[in-house]
Amino acid sequence: MFFAALDNVPGIKLFPSTTSFFLGRLQDPMTAADVCARLARERILLRNCANFRGLSNRFIRISLKSAQANRMLVDKLFSWLHGPAARRQDSAKMQRVQG
């Protein structure tokens, strides 16, 4: 499951959802603008929720996509936050979860 794999990314707190997207809160020093800009360079688009009433510049909205796109998002987040070793570990987790 995508939620389980994404929930294992340190630095992001996910909130359960019954919709086709998840709300995530980033830990310091990450901001939604930084994460969205970095992933946009990789052609992965997230929603910066800084302008949503009651939310801060630490919130992002992640929409469900294809299994391949979801794996790529988790992979890029791990790569950016924790380097190649964490990325390999999470890729193995994602395959077990989906598999």
**Class assignment of domain 2-98?**
alpha beta
| CA–CA distance, 77 with 64 (Å, rounded to integer) | 15
As a whole number, mean pLDDT of residues 83-97 equals 47
Radius of gyration of the chain from Cα atoms?
A: 13
d(Cα 38, Cα 58) in Å, to the nearest integer?
Answer: 15
At 8, list the tokens: 């294992």
More confident residue, 85 or 77: 77
CA gap 99, 79 in Å, rounded: 22
Q: How far is CA 97 from the centre of its chain?
A: 16
pLDDT 10s digits, 16-71: 889 999 999 998 888 999 999 999 998 999 999 999 999 999 999 999 888 898 88
* pTM recorded for the entire structure: 0.77
> Looking at residue 32, what is its pLDDT?
95
Domain boundaries, given as residue ranges, for the chain: 2-98
